[in-house]
Amino acid sequence: MENIERRVFLKGAAIGALAFTVGGVEVLLTPRDARSQGVPFRTLNAEQVEALEALGETLVPGARQAGISHFVDQQLSIPAEDALLEARILNVRPPFVNFYRAALGAVDRASQARSNGRRFAVLDESERREFVDAMRQNKINDWQGPAGGFVYVVLRNDAVDVVYGTMEGYAALGIPYMPHIAPTRRW
Amino acid sequence: MATNEKVDVAIVGAGASGSVFAAVLAKAGKKVAVLEQGPDWQLSDLISSDFWGRRLKTAGAPFLLEGRNPYGYSGQSGWGVGGAALHYFANFPRLLPNDFKIKSEHGRALDWPISYQDLALYYDRVALDIGVSGDAKAEETWRPAGQPYPMPPMKTFRNGQIWLKGFEAVGIRMVPAAVGMNSTDYKGRPACIYDGWCHVGCPTGALANPVVTYLADARKAGAEVRARSTVTRVLTNQQGTRVTGVEYYDEKKERRVQEANVVVLAAWSGQNPRLMLNSATDKHPKGLANSSGLLGKYMMAHFSSGTWAIFDEDVQNYMGTTGAQYMSYDRYGKTSRKGTFGSSFLTAGSALKTNELGGLANARVDLFGPDLAAFMKRAARGLTRIGAFGEEMPNIENRIELASDKDEFGMPLAKIIHSYDQDAAALWNANFEEGLAVAKAAGAKETWSARGNMPTIHLLGGTIMGTGAGDSVTNSYGQTHELPNLYVAGPGIFPTEGASNPTYTIFALSLRGAEQMAANWSTVAS
């Protein structure tokens, strides 16, 4: 344990980026990079991605650009034991994809029932906020799916992860990250 | 089904309690195999990131959660070598003498079959073994004198110091927190550098997790730690008088038997009763060591009443350790809060991260959108918190049962049924009220209680100790009353929980139990 350099205790052990498939080849990218490169989704369909991005952006501004949909999608495609999702520590029963599909489906169904058939992603900003505020308090009538308040907590944490949990997120808030073992690629 | 070479001791679980048994028995010359269902983590795996830290938490068969206050286990669970103590906060408060005699002194709950004095020596020895920092003299207002801690208190930071004025104003004395961390270099492990990543695993060795303490000692003494080994049953002889080993699935998911003279169940307070219930035979039709019917009963959790505050200065909340800087037992008397019953343990000062479960963003779960973004900017500079842990009394209705669903190995899942009673809820509320008073007296600009669902922290009970097979599952050493070569280790054997973080007591009890086993080997193992 001698000669320990402050905050650089061990090097090279971390794999910070996630494995995405681009052109049939697995590459390591951050979710933000995966989004900007248009990496195809593995698990979620187009409607689920739209709902997740709209929800993420409503919950935490910046979540869309930070790649919430690529982060969640990639995490749902790997074994639960390897998953880094907050769902893992919020007692969501694996496979986690079941929860996300049920949650995103419930959001869109409730939105359509409340807003003349319009899915959540096409609501305007104030409508989205109103919807989320009702959802977090379990105040949406005829909600069908995991409890709205719990969906709020899980997805809000995902959005917080990609916006504030990265080294860039810390830097944006002016908080020193101070890693012992730094995640590579600033993850 | 393959059978391994017989060992003296098979230990199920490589966390805090299992590591102590492994170290003591390997040093006593016993052949020890530790079976751990998760991976064999190395210090280099402990990446400073809340994302990556989640890998250290449960990935095994899920527990099904029922009751008014379902037990939220996954955030505090362990997965792999080191167990939950690989990512614990290393707060090391002791239980106090009043924890051991609640039934005698108040006519309710349960007594321990031992007293504080029976354990005091082991607290002191654990402190020397693995390194504890603190000020023992300052604690002796509340407990009998013992040995000084081997290291002075940890450094404090503004996010802790700023609360002291408020505590003093309401008449509470705070002292340096006792923690299982190095304030100075200790036994070849370096001093802490206060970067606040304890909760995702400390890779420097400054924090006394099992991998760098008792488990390292155990390995050095020849114990084998067999990761990716999922135990599904404890095996008994035909007469049902002794255990003979365990059945488990190895890393290739092949079924094997590990024969052993002694089995120690150190898996987790939830998993140990699950295994014992699943090991039922015609001689033990209700599960092993369960003639009392108390196996899986009296599950307990702690609840915290957190108070958040934003101060109008930079409190450097990214600095320090995840655990506490200051602590107090001034509200530890069982009746110290009017109209409630149970102890409260108070803490102040902890490092915060942006996206941890108890971090900046979750300090105001109600906020989202631009309101959350604005809050995060304020919180980054001035947010800090204090905490009050509350004690739940043992309730026989809080229990673990096998469910009909099965895991990938065909073992029934277990359900944890848990509800708090009115005393617990009243104590939770009283602690919030005082927390707000402290925050106001400390000069907080904004303050609020961390309310929401009543939290469930730690899991204790289920295999409680007592005086005989009629009132408990084990004796005070963790040895089951009915099967002398089957031991249970960990907080599952606590008959009451106190309000202190349990790991220091887990280490101390395990050291006492392991040494009793070694000293009585010929009668235990034969």
Kind of pairing between the strands at A18-22 and B230-236: unpaired
Nearest residue, CB atoms, A187 vs list B49, B193, B205: B49
Cα–Cα distance, A89 to A80 (Å, whole number): 11
8 Å CB contact of A59 and B54: no
Q: What is the ipTM of this complex?
A: 0.95
Which residues in chain B have Cβ-Cβ distances shorter than 8 Å to A16?
A: 47, 49, 52
Which residues in chain B have Cβ-Cβ distances shorter than 8 Å to A176?
A: 318
8 Å CB contact of B354 and A93: no
Q: Name A12's Cβ contacts closer than 8 Å, sequence gap at least 6.
A: none
Which residues in chain A have Cβ-Cβ distances shorter than 8 Å to B373?
A: 60-62
Cα–Cα distance, B474 to B112 (Å, whole number): 11
Whether A15 has a pLDDT exceeding 50, the answer reads: no
Nearest residue, CB atoms, B75 vs list A89, A175, A176: A89
> Per-residue pLDDT tens for B45-63?
999 999 999 999 999 999 9
Whether A17 has a pLDDT exceeding 80, the answer reads: no
8 Å CB contact of B355 and A164: yes
CA angle A95, A137, A56 (to 5 degrees): 55
8 Å CB contact of A1 and B204: yes
Nearest residue, CB atoms, B372 vs list A60, A91, A170: A60
8 Å CB contact of A181 and B189: no
A88, A162, A168: best to mutate for the B interface, most B CBs within 10 A = A88
Rounded to 10 deg, the angle between the A148-164 and A46-59 helix axes is 80
8 Å CB contact of A178 and B205: no
8 Å CB contact of A175 and B380: yes
Range B436-456 average pLDDT: 96
Cα–Cα distance, B398 to B462 (Å, whole number): 9
Range A61-85 average pLDDT: 95
Q: What is the pLDDT of residue A184?
A: 60
- Whole-model pTM: value is 0.96
Whether A2 has a pLDDT exceeding 80, the answer reads: no
Assigned token pair, A123: 């609501």
8 Å CB contact of A84 and B51: yes
8 Å CB contact of A88 and B366: no
Nearest residue, CB atoms, B54 vs list A10, A89, A160: A89
Range A69-73 average pLDDT: 97
Range B24-37 average pLDDT: 98
Kind of pairing between the strands at B383-390 and B300-304: antiparallel
Amino acid B107 reads: G
Amino acid B482 reads: E
Assigned token pair, B355: 């996206």
Q: What is the pLDDT of residue A40?
A: 94
What are the E-state strand segments in B432-485?
Answer: 446-449, 457-460
Nearest-CA distance from B188 to chain A in Å? 7
Q: What is the DSSP letter of B496?
A: S
Q: B400: which strand partners?
A: B416
Q: B486: which strand partners?
A: B263
Q: Which residue of B has its CA nearest to A164?
A: B354
* Residue B422 binned pLDDT confidence (cut-offs 50, 70, 90): very high
Left (φ > 0), alpha (ψ -120 to 50) or beta: where does B341 sit?
beta
Residue-wise burial string across B246-262, b where 16 or more C-beta atoms lie within 10 A, e elsewhere = bbbbbeeeeebbbbbbb
> Per-residue pLDDT tens for B155-205?
999 999 999 999 999 999 999 999 999 999 999 999 999 999 999 999 999
* Residue A5 binned pLDDT confidence (cut-offs 50, 70, 90): very low
Q: What is the pLDDT of residue A3?
A: 37
Nearest residue, CB atoms, A161 vs list B51, B57, B376: B51
Q: What is the pLDDT of residue A10?
A: 35
CB B14 within 8 A of CB B510: no
8 Å CB contact of A14 and B361: no
If DSSP states are collapsed to H, E and C, what string results for chain A?
Answer: CCCCCCCCCCCCCCCCCEEEEECCEEEEECHHHHHHCCCCCCCCCHHHHHHHHHHHHHHCCCCCCCCHHHHHHHHHCCCHHHCCCHHHHCCCCCCHHHHHHHHHHHHHHHHHHHCCCCCHHHCCHHHHHHHHHHHHCCCCCCCCCCCHHHHHHHHHHHHHHHHHCCHHHHHHHCCCCCCCCCCHHHC
CA distances from B380 to B159, B166, B351, B372 (A): 12, 22, 11, 12
Name the nearest CA neighbour of B456 among B413, B486, B418, B501: B418
What backbone phi and psi angles, to 5 degrees, belong to A29?
A: -140, 155
Which residues in chain A have Cβ-Cβ distances shorter than 8 Å to B190?
A: 1, 4
Cα–Cα distance, A187 to B159 (Å, whole number): 26
| Helix, strand, coil percentages in chain B from 3-state DSSP, rounded to 5 | 30, 20, 50
Range B467-478 average pLDDT: 97
* Residue A20 binned pLDDT confidence (cut-offs 50, 70, 90): confident
CB B475 within 8 A of CB B90: no
8 Å CB contact of B318 and A178: yes
What backbone phi and psi angles, to 5 degrees, belong to B121?
A: -60, -40
B185, B368, B416: best to mutate for the A interface, most A CBs within 10 A = B368
